[in-house]
């Protein structure tokens, strides 16, 4: 079986890349969406760009949270409980991901 994260360097790299993108994305997102929130405009200036960048941000939030919480569990959970904790974490995270995907499908199919 091929490991997705062969060592800690990949986890660190993905966390840093996702944090950098999100740090740049959220101010830009608020700047684009602010006229809509204030009632000054009917739609954002670039709705296609906003949708794509928002989906990328959502994916990176999921990756960032998965890596961070997984590392916390591995570092601080006792070894005898680690396997059960990681299985529970994976199950809960999978349910959360399925919920987000179903909500996106409902919104897109409207």
Q: Which CATH number fits domain 9-108: 1.10.3210, 1.20.120, 1.20.1300, 2.30.40?
A: 1.20.1300
pLDDT, one tens digit for every residue, the chain (110 residues): 556 555 678 888 889 999 999 999 999 888 877 777 777 776 666 777 888 888 899 889 988 988 888 888 888 878 788 888 888 888 888 888 888 888 877 877 77
Cβ-in-10-Å burial (0-12, 13-18, 19+) of 81 comes to exposed
Residue 4, number of CB atoms within 10 A of its CB: 8
What is the full DSSP assignment across 33-61?
A: HHHHHTTS-SS-S-HHHHHHHHHHHHHHH
Residue 53: closest CA among 40, 65, 41, 44? 44
pLDDT of residue 2: 58
Looking at residue 25, what is its pLDDT?
92
Give residue limits of the domains in the chain.
Answer: 9-108
pLDDT at 18: 92
């Amino acid at each position: 079986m091929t490991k997705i994260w062969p060592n800690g360097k990949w986890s660190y790299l993905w966390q840093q890349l996702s944090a950098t993108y999100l740090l740049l994305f959220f101010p830009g997102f608020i700047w684009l969406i602010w006229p809509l929130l204030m009632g000054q405009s009917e739609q954002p200036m670039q709705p296609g760009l906003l949708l794509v960048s928002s989906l990328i941000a959502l994916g990176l939030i999921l990756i960032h949270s998965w890596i961070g919480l997984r590392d916390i569990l591995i570092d601080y959970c006792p070894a005898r409980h680690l396997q059960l904790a990681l299985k529970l974490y994976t199950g809960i995270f999978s349910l959360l991901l399925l919920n987000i995907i179903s909500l996106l499908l409902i919104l897109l199919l409207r």
